[in-house]
Structure 1
Amino acid sequence: MRLFTLGLCFVASTATACPDGSETLVSCALEGGRKYLQTCLVGDQATYSFGRTGRTPDLQLSRHVTDVFLYPWPAASRTIWESVTFENAGVSYRVYYAQERDPRTPEVSGGVYVERGEDVLAELTCDPGSVETAGYPLPLFDAKEAAGQIFDRNSYTWE
């Protein structure tokens, strides 16, 4: 369900730009531009890449859209935010972005939590001004629905 789309423009960076033919979900530079985080959507595949800028990714995942968890904004706060979680060998990579609804505060923040169960193994924050996102709602929501999943806003689960 699309409530509205933010009219935001982000500066693309070659380190975080998704490949041609795909859509950016959430991507950014990290650690002063030394590392990058990239999540993209191409057809029914969501991808996650993380690594040193200018080098082959340290971790690259590709999952069918039904195999990633999207937590859409609950529409109940001043901040619009969403997160996308990729699983790999018992470790989850929860990528997020956030933006104040006030148009006078256009900066978007983001990052990734690396978790095993309840334990946070790492928390990385995107460099200020580097976050690229498709904006609310992420196109992953429509891709999950096109794949037959339905989001239950009462239980915050995908069925």
Structure 2
Amino acid sequence: MTRAHLLLALAPLVAPLSAAADCVGETLVSCPVDDRRRLEVCLDPGAPASEPAFTYAFGPPGAPELTLRAPLSDGTVTPWNGVGRSLWESVAFNSGAHVYEVWHAFDRLTPDAPLEAGVNVLRGDDLLASLTCRPGPETQIAPIFALSDAMTDAGWRRDLDAGVWRPTDQAPAD
């Protein structure tokens, strides 16, 4: 199945994504993770003075406890490796010794499987917390490959041999 066919097949499973109140730009993930906290990841298109970036907000709606920004040039998107029953990708937000890795996934072998998303909080190799989006009408999750597509739409390409994102016009390293 080609990527285009897969996206067409998944389209009916994805709720329309509208910008959430706290998002500047496109909402990629917006969901409650418990009774009082939300996870929100957006694609900020940037302005003349700033480059495009993924943004992260976590905490009570409208008053997040933590906000982070990862410029697309940081290359923190990890695309699906092509293996396994789950299609997934993630974007990492670095904050000191901690990494907030937001992921979204789809089990391609389960009929009518919903899109899922969440965040893993890491310190080095130690997993400190793993929170998953609660399903329901307040949950918005972008289609699979939305993170990688944002990178390519902004002029980046994945160098598979080196495992890094490079500007489209940059030649691969030898």
- TM-score, with length taken from structure 1: 0.79
| Whole-angstrom CA distance in 2 between matches of 1:81 and 1:56 | 29
Question: Which ranges of structure 1 fall in alignment gaps of 5 or more residues?
Answer: none
What per-residue deviation string (whole Å, max 9, x for no partner) do you get for residues 46-88 of structure 1? 10000023x4110011221122511111233222111111101
Match of 1:17 in 2: 20
Match of 1:66 in 2: 73
Counterpart AA for 1:77: G
The SS at the match of 1:128 is: coil
More helix by share: 2
- TM-score, with length taken from structure 2: 0.73
Residues 132, 90 of structure 1: CA spacing in aligned structure 2 closer, same or farther, 3 A cutoff?
A: same
The SS at the match of 1:66 is: helix
Q: Summarize the alignment of residues 105-144 of structure 1 with structure 2, pairs less than 5 Å apart.
A: 105-129=112-136, 131-138=139-146, 140-144=147-151
More strand by share: 1
Aligned pairs, number: 153
Q: CA RMSD in A?
A: 2.7
Match of 2:3 in 1: 3
The SS at the match of 1:63 is: strand
The SS at the match of 1:99 is: strand
Verify: 1:48 aligned to 2:51, yes or no.
no
- Contact 1:66–1:147 (CA under 8 A) maintained in structure 2: no
| Whole-angstrom CA distance in 2 between matches of 1:46 and 1:52 | 19
Of structures 1 and 2, the larger Rg is shown by 2
Identity %: 36
Asked which structure has the greater RCO (Cα within 8 Å, sep 6+), the reply is: 1
